[in-house]
Structure 1
Amino acid sequence: MLDYKIKIGLVPERRFLPGPKRTGIFNPDYAVANKKMVVEFIEKNYTGDNTEFINIDFLNDEGMLYHIDQCEEVAKYFKEKDIDAIFIINCNFGNEEAAGKIGQMIGKPVLLWGPRDTIFCEDGTRYTDTQCGLFSISKQLKRYGIPFSYIENCNIEDKAFDIGLRQFMSVVCMVKNFYNLRIVQVGTRVKPFKSVMINEMELMEKFGIDIVPVNMAEAVDKLNKIYNENIEQLRLDAEEIKKRIDTSSSDELLEKMMAFVYFYQQIDKENQASIISTECWTSMQLAFGAMPCLAMSILADLGYLGKRLYSISAYRNVLYRLYRSTGQYDV
């Protein structure tokens, strides 16, 4: 089954300067004001049934990261919360050392952004100098070899911010679900379909994608048991289908088609499958006397994903679209 729920750790940060509190540029009060404004805006406008934001208010009175010594505590907290990504929010010039370290320790997708400077001295001095800090942080992330997404230095109400954050949320959903997929493979590739050949070892080594085979003999055995032991329920299901679909199929054929629904649900549960890739011809007709095409449609309505003709590559593309839309794309 698909999981569209994501958790994003918010990492507001500021510059650390030892000694007396600054009164001009890098005055922490302005960074704290930025932090409060940004975090409140994000939590109010982007929290939803499938999206949760985890802040670091536990860390100190400011709820901000400003020293590399704090990274271990923040990383531990985020791992306990099982976050799927972090959003580094530059509230003034920031701290590139701490930002790079937290990105490295978390090992999840990273988004970088900071709000535009809004308060200036008469001589043009900026109190926060956010954009310059973004240059430094992005360079440090590159040095650590950390892939990251970036939203241009803009106001939080700007369209660029909205587009950037929503795109990142989609990426987080894709990354979370793509790695370590379990794909149940029923049967083998159909002989003429060279276009759907895959490298199973490469999928495992590069992405942790596990192909779980169910051979056709085992599949037919399960189908026959379901058909013989649940015939009364299958007849009821077939009658219900007749009310919804104009069909000229025989009752026996419809009942066998409905048996596929229970079969795929069973192997999905037994194998903790993310998705099911199945042969649909010619073995199914020869061995069981029906095809699973109708069952695939019914299962899709129930939230399962199944792909006929053993097209695992095509299935990955469907998953990309589903996760990119965080479940709102109607496949």
Structure 2
Amino acid sequence: MSACNVLSQYGIPYTLTSQHTQRLDSAGFRRDLRDFAATCRVVGGLRNARIGAIGARPAAFKTVRFSEKILGASGISVEPIDLSEILGRIERLQDDDADVAAKIAEMQAYVSTEGIPASALTKMAKLGLVIDRWMKEVDVTVSAVQCWTAMEEYFGVVPCTVMSMMSNENTPSACEVDVMGTISMLALTLASETPSALSTFGGAGVVEIPQLQQLLKFICRKGFEHHVAGKFLHVAGAVHEATTRYLGWDVLWHGE
């Protein structure tokens, strides 16, 4: 209690163990330590996070609008690039480029490409390669992509495979330039150290949520953004602790 008092005097945030006193070799302390490590990963990963915004949000998706200034107050920055610049860089790549061939092999190892035309695979490989290079160039590790309709109409492929591969490597990529969705995915990925999904169609799985109607009303009343990031793991406590106690965000932990 004295230590907590002094930390409070100096305005230093801190996390409590689940029990006031614990043996260092107890299962409870090990669990608390794992949760705190997850909290630290979320705080460290979100502070000064750099997000790549590739293209503009589709006109109808007003639900993904956000404020860069508000994010900046938490140290999060957004690095934008126009979709035309991405497509221009793709045009300069040769089909027989060794890096393009390597990216095709990477895609074929990741997902079945049976029945997919070679030209489409080459386009997707070039897209993935250009995005990879741009993200390294501007030092961003997560992204939000204008995945439709311009990509399909003017380039001829969908970027879903490329974005899925990035997310599977714990570098989340969200649809419709949903930067806030990317942040949600990143928080869950950091907490769990595993890939996190962004549900745009509501088909990730079936779950039982206590007091679901109450939660849905809260979401609707507060006007929350369109997409939902999810995990089939218990990391809500670590994410809530990181975002509220250390980042100072107003976050609801439903069912706490």
Counterparts of 1:250 and 1:174, CA distance in 2: 41
Aligned to 2:27: 159
> 1:198 Cα shift?
0.9
CA contact (8 A) 1:231 1:255 kept: no
Aligned to 1:203: 71
Q: Which shifted more, 234-243 or 161-170?
A: 234-243
- Relative distance call for 1:267 and 1:210 in structure 2 (3 A) is same
- Relative distance call for 1:188 and 1:175 in structure 2 (3 A) is same
- After TM superposition, the score normalised by the length of structure 1 is 0.53
- Relative distance call for 1:163 and 1:303 in structure 2 (3 A) is closer
> 1:304 Cα shift?
3.6
Aligned to 1:148: 14
> 1:144 Cα shift?
1.7
Q: 1:170 aligns with which of 28, 38, 41?
A: 38
> 1:143 Cα shift?
1.9
Aligned to 2:224: none
Q: How does 1:143-292 map to 2 (within 5 A)?
A: 143-151=9-17, 152-204=20-72, 206-226=73-93, 229-231=94-96, 233=98, 234=100, 238=104, 245-292=112-159
- Relative distance call for 1:164 and 1:273 in structure 2 (3 A) is same
Identity across aligned pairs (percent)? 22
Counterparts of 2:2 and 2:106, CA distance in 1: 63
Counterparts of 2:106 and 2:4, CA distance in 1: 58
- After TM superposition, the score normalised by the length of structure 2 is 0.68
Residue identity opposite 2:35 in structure 1: Q
CA contact (8 A) 1:149 1:168 kept: yes
- Relative distance call for 1:241 and 1:276 in structure 2 (3 A) is closer
> 1:258 Cα shift?
1.4
> Is residue 307 of structure 1 aligned with residue 177 of structure 2?
no
Provide the alpha-carbon RMSD of the alignment: 2.2
> 1:139 Cα shift?
1.4
Q: Give aligned pairs, total.
A: 192
**After superposition, what is the alpha-carbon deviation per residue over 1:256-304, rounded to whole angstroms, capped at 9, x for unaligned?**
1111110111111111112111111111123322221111223344554
User: Structure 1, unaligned stretches of length 5 or more?
Assistant: 1-134
> 1:159 Cα shift?
2.6
> 1:323 Cα shift?
1.3
CA contact (8 A) 2:172 2:195 kept: no
| Greater C-alpha Rg | 1
Residue identity opposite 2:189 in structure 1: L
SS in 2 for 1:268: helix
> 1:238 Cα shift?
4.6
Q: How does 1:29-44 map to 2 (within 5 A)?
A: none
CA contact (8 A) 1:220 1:287 kept: no
